[in-house]
Structure 1
């Protein structure tokens, strides 16, 4: 999750949803009486044009929120209190919140545990990301923060002309060698896990190859993203294309695979320290024994309300007991394997009494 704006005195916070875990956090933060502003669509009727669905930002006073079955969406329902001047919108409305969406939440008073949830979600999304954008004229390095990109270095390449390809190639090698040296120091200082190479065509691919070769010992993962130009313009363009969300999605999948491997290994080698299936996990939660809880997203979006509420209560109780929670996507292999174990499992702090 990314906090885009926070005014403690006014009780206003604007956030960007980056993962499924963020949707779970918002589900537990947004409550009846809050005001939520978000981009949505609304069907409007006109005598001239008939019925048409229009895109707009609405403000609603929340009545309830729930996960929408069979989707990744969080549904927030309430009474419309503010709408664009050009449209007459009244009554109730439901906003669908999905990964990549932004919304503003206004509360009369934020509870400490709600702010703590947001803080933890923000910390979890901080991977340590550097963006490098290159073309035949400009190069820039930017460090990704919650609030934007901090320029670390910018330079003009001043390469020899294409009529002297050997001198041009040698000059480019020197420039890239200097960049690799600079990045090694930056990666170490800022605990960087991801490098994003951006630029037009040939340049981004060349940059990515050099980064992978020069930084292979640091185990930094290199991503490639299109941009029409180098320099800081290219850095910002790559971000607008959503590369940061791709990175977070990939790292979430890696985390799921790692946790599932840990669970399966524990089941095989130390079965008293792992449980799966709803009934067994509930007993472990009641005993305050859960260290890590693995939950399939389908359970939190089940069309069976009684099952959904039961799982929600279990996850909240585990959170209150300081368990680490990971919501698995049913779209990937680790989630499908967890589904075969009943969709919910836990790694335990200690063996449960017989």
Structure 2
């Protein structure tokens, strides 16, 4: 994400102009938008035209609209963001008050105005525009005939490629068709890795599967790398880590990242920090329950007692449409930070826990 302009007054009202540059930026934008905000962006509008003879036609024109946001729809698989609202500025093609849906696009700027920019949304902008916040973990979750290649960021998982190849069963006396189909499958997965993984940024690639599919694939991958003299794959061989998964579907990724043998190998990556923080909370809840809390009332009590060392909070809570409730969460975060505590804002995609405190001094009464 690129920050092009920022104009926020002392009363926290104002606007920012941003340009999303990659798919994950749409996720950040989704978390910035709230009902009631003002969004100005380029869009396509179908308009009716009437010729001098009286015949009516229609055409699609590109124009810039400013909407009062009413509905926000985010497709996490395609990383597409659609915003519906009413037009609040004069426009030659769209009447004041008319409804329109803007689909935000990569590399097209937009301006977002709010009546109040709180600390959480400002932190989100800083995070989104930080060049170091990039996906440094990739994973290939596979089974025979199916592979999902994803990039893992602290905020979300980005599906970059899905490979599906029909693998015939082995037949008695002949395995030729089965082996040929497997080879086509492994070749397609190899090409997906070369196309979608930036080895200069990614620190490790998890290859996960049930059974021996991952081992057979890695054998094929590096046999082909030697045959083709593919220096990128050969130089980055140590980055590949083989792990077990229950299936080749994307949902198995959470199970993989919770594996202790994996988290130890990923200790210097950003995504591992999110997983470890949640694991630490569950361990503390089990072994030292006086130092772990969850639920808004209990967490607020711990914050008022200045007892919080680490607060875990889901970004889902900051999309709450009840403004007073959202403000309550923001005040909680500010309170913890002002008193020297750590705040980890995790994605709801990762965490089943929405609000919790870890490493808290015991509170009595």
TM-score of the superposed pair, with normalisation by structure 2:
0.45
Structure (1/2) with the larger helix percentage: 1
TM-score (norm 1): 0.46
